[in-house]
Structure 1
Amino acid sequence: MTDTLDSDIFNLAPIAMWIEDFSGVQELFHHWRAEGVTDIRSFLKHDRDRVIACSSRIRVLSVNAKTLQLFEAKSLEHLTANIAAIFRDDMLDTHINELAALFDGETTFSSTTVNYTVSGRRLDIQLRGTVLPGHEKTLSRLLLTTEDITDREDARRAEALQRRQAEGVFEHSPVSLWIEDFSRIRTLIEDIRDRGISDFRTFMDVHPEFVRQCMSEIRVIDVNQATLDLFCAKDRSDLLQRIGDIFRDDMEKPFREQLMELWNGRLFHHREVVNYALDGSVRHILLHFSVFPGYESDWSRVQVALADITARKKAEAYLEYLGKHDVLSKLYNRAFYADEMNRLERKSLRPVSAIIIDLNGLKEANDQLGHDAGDGLLRRFGEILNGAVATPNHACRIGGDEFAILMPGADAKAAGTMMETITELLRINNQFYSTLPLSMSYGVATSEADESMESVVKRADALMYENKKAHYVAIELGGEMPLAKTRTL
């Protein structure tokens, strides 16, 4: 009755079960021990044929129905006839662990291995073995179970693949990526909220130390290679030890806005910031902040992506420069001059002085020496005006050889001093270019009560033309060409 019950349990078990005879393997063990083998693992790894020799001595005595089903065998005979196709490849490597356990006198063993069905389908197997009581010396009866864990292992391999892919995307992304822990910042913000404070912006205005404390509580978990390249860091340690050199100066202001976003529950946001590389060079950055899904409650995992927009900002600055400046002279252009005239017209600040200057002989220089020579004169005069004129005053090239200087808040005395400076710089410049000296005619006007800017400039322009006529009259009379001709009102 008991034998029948045991047989029924064996055959109806929901897991594949094998009864096997390892006595032939035990005989090999005795032989190897007699030869002095003690480290069976090294012994078997040294020669794989020894593992095959052990496997060939194992006799399958019985299997249950689940075994035949799992390995797609029609019968025990069909199974054993294909045993070499079932136990192969990686199975031999894991088989060493089982043989070593038995060699060392253990009566149980387990391992994860690979088997194959009769049709060749790969199976991931959880193998467990037990020496049946009374057979410990001969190993003539072992019960083995082979549990199919293919689905579980497929899921594990898929997860490992996804993890490697994610790590690869992170590490090799062309964009600087930071994984950070903002959990302490969340705690600080929630503490403020729990204190009944609702106007967070005003709170930060009154307590700037809170912003600095939050900045100090950011914990950097990892950065990728693009981050090291962007900030000229030798390695992660170099970057993290010098983090204060990267986030400095005006960084506190955009961080305040980032805290406002978090206060308002916006866990995904972006803004432009300025950072610094470890060599001191400026980095204009487009910062993208996002809390990882699943971490919304504590912010312990956030990603910060930094796109380097330095080149774009330089291009924008240059385009803005071109929109306001004359490329040849490096002075402000006529468009800027028109805007400044309108601005000064709207402002109540008075007096305002205007200086209109015209280069003498530019057309002759172009006609006789070529436009390169004329351009050289314009560049030289641009250097003179840039050296003499500083904010809030502005020097502009408003025509081919015509220039204007607008001086808000300057009276006639200040305008006269400006012209003395320009005249002196022009004289010094001509000492280095004696073969092609600069000459100018100019007029100066200072605003009167309730006078429009247009009227002021017209008066200065009229004076400049009078002086220019006098310049050319002097040339026609054969007199010495003056350095500058001027009248001032």
Structure 2
Amino acid sequence: MSALFTDPNDDAKMFDLAPVSLWIEDYSDVKALFEQWHAQGVDDIETFLLANPERVRQCSQHIRIIKVNRKTLSLFGARDLDHLMVSLSLVMRDDTFKSHVSELAQPWSGRTHFSSNTVNYTLTGERLDVQLHGIVLPGHEQKWDRVMISIEDVTERETARRRLVDSENYAFGLFAHSPVSLWVEDFSDVKRLLDEVRARGVEDFRVFTDVHQEFVERCMSEIRVLDVNGRTLELFGAPDKATLLSHLGDVFRDEMGPHFREQLVDLWNGKLFQQREVVNYALDGTKLHLLLQFSVLPSHEGDWSLVQVALTDITARKKAEAYLEYLGTHDVLTRTLNRAFYVDELNRIERRGLHPVTIIIADLNGLKTANDDLGHSVGDALLRRAGEVFGSLVEKPASVARIGGDEFAVLLPGTDAAGGDAVLASLAELIEVNNQYYPDLELSMSIGIATSRPGDRLEQVIKLADMLMLQAKRQYYAQADCDRRSVSDQA
């Protein structure tokens, strides 16, 4: 047998030259203090210490540092042990309190080793994130008079971890508080279905979905919504995520089918970022016009398991566009179509050859007199009443337009003379009904009607209808003048 002998001087050198910070400390007075508290009935040391920070300082003051190695001095920026000891209040402060309580609780429970992740500071005030390990050295378990502490500098690792946490918190904050509706979704099952179709030899996906419309619905049902932000709940009128996610069938319906089909076509063609206008519905049934931006997130291009969908509410813009479009083709006062539409529609009818074409030209009687004698508000009321009558007169492809101050045109493509007469009869009935609601001022019109014959240009038909309207107008005023003279003669 052979014995292994070690030189104490070699041990001292290894301690001093160790690449980590090492401390030899005497915890015997801490052990005596613990025994005193045990005798007083303390059983939960952590609660006991946290209730009074002075007790933690008392424990710290009972720890005696015997020696430290060179790495310790360089780590904390101390010249020697004395310099370090007089500066311990700078080394262990602020963040160290709770971790020190945890360190003390471990030997209290009977363990001869303990550890913690804590914060120390160099003598120049720089923060050190450290991983601390302590062990009561063999042969000193009864007194705790020799405890070795190792301190590993993990500042770089912890700084990177904090930056990652900060980055994740920042990203989550952007998601949660974005003014745009954001959805995080899993499209992996959609990709699987598309891959299966491709594996079957399908090349033209648009034709495939024309034939198999149920495939689009199946793909839509395979989307998994992972998360939505607060703006999404606000936009769709949902009190919470669970309510919204349980009513997705009410949100994505009607017009959403064709939009989603186009989205699938783009995905089939490899477009992993898409933008299009779509229609969804709030939970109360309100129609929402939205700008959808779809993006498969980086590093998920292979399986589409993480997709972000951003929805911007453009309902107000679409309403404004619709109103501007309405103004471009309608007369605001009467709500009939305007002259610009009338001219374009004549050209369309002429090009398409929708013969025969019947055209009615109508002119209000007495509008100038109403304006001059009773004011323009009364004249405007007459025009609005005419608009009410014409608004109920015909349906597409027929149309009614205000083509002048008090002149209206009714275009009846594909309508013969008999059909035109039927419309005239309906117009007379509507005027009669309207006058029953406004007995103080009669609504009256002079009307001309003409129907195209083979080879006629619409311009000729219009001239004929206009001429007949003027004849009716002259007859109306001649009759009115005759009625006035008759009343005057009687007087």
Using the size of structure 1 for normalisation, the TM-score is 0.97
Equivalent runs, 1:94-105 vs 2, <5 Å: 94-105=99-110
- Match of 1:273? 278
Alignment of 1:146 with 2:158, yes or no, is no
Q: d(CA) in 2 for partners of 1:428 and 1:43?
A: 93
Alignment of 1:3 with 2:8, yes or no, is yes
Q: Which deviates the most, 186-195 or 240-249?
A: 186-195
Alignment of 1:336 with 2:341, yes or no, is yes
Match of 1:224 among 229, 251, 256: 229
Alignment of 1:390 with 2:403, yes or no, is no
- Match of 1:345? 350
Equivalent runs, 1:460-475 vs 2, <5 Å: 460-475=465-480
Match of 1:427 among 417, 428, 432: 432
- Match of 1:449? 454
- Match of 2:359? 354
SS at match of 2:139: coil
After superposition, the C-alpha distances for 1:231-259 in whole angstroms (9 at most, x for unaligned) are 11111011000000000012111111111
Q: Which runs of 5+ in 2 are unaligned?
A: 1-5, 487-491
Q: Conserved in 2, the CA contact under 8 Å of 1:52 and 1:92?
A: no
- Match of 1:77? 82
Q: 1:366: how far off?
A: 0.7
Using the size of structure 2 for normalisation, the TM-score is 0.96
- Match of 1:197? 202
- Match of 1:63? 68
Q: d(CA) in 2 for partners of 1:344 and 1:121?
A: 85
- Match of 1:485? none
Q: 1:92: how far off?
A: 2.1
SS at match of 2:410: strand
Alignment of 1:375 with 2:380, yes or no, is yes
After superposition, the C-alpha distances for 1:425-476 in whole angstroms (9 at most, x for unaligned) are 1112112222210111001101101111111111100100011111111122
SS at match of 2:392: helix
Q: 1:480: how far off?
A: 9.8
Q: 1:211: how far off?
A: 1.0
Q: 1:479: how far off?
A: 5.9
Q: 1:151: how far off?
A: 1.3
SS at match of 1:382: helix
Alignment of 1:415 with 2:408, yes or no, is no
Q: d(CA) in 2 for partners of 1:195 and 1:430?
A: 70
Alignment of 1:299 with 2:296, yes or no, is no
Q: 1:323: how far off?
A: 0.4
Q: d(CA) in 2 for partners of 1:234 and 1:477?
A: 73
Alignment of 1:406 with 2:408, yes or no, is no
Q: d(CA) in 2 for partners of 1:304 and 1:53?
A: 58
Q: Which runs of 5+ in 1 are unaligned?
A: 482-489
- Match of 1:487? none
SS at match of 2:380: helix
| Residue type at the aligned position of 1:323 | G
Equivalent runs, 1:201-212 vs 2, <5 Å: 201-212=206-217
Match of 1:130 among 109, 131, 135: 135
- Match of 1:19? 24
Alignment of 1:285 with 2:290, yes or no, is yes
SS at match of 1:222: strand
How many residues are paired up? 481
| Residue type at the aligned position of 2:394 | V
| Residue type at the aligned position of 1:474 | Q
Q: Which deviates the most, 37-46 or 126-135?
A: 37-46
Q: d(CA) in 2 for partners of 1:89 and 1:271?
A: 54
Percent of matched pairs sharing the same residue? 54
| Residue type at the aligned position of 1:205 | D
Q: Conserved in 2, the CA contact under 8 Å of 1:126 and 1:149?
A: yes
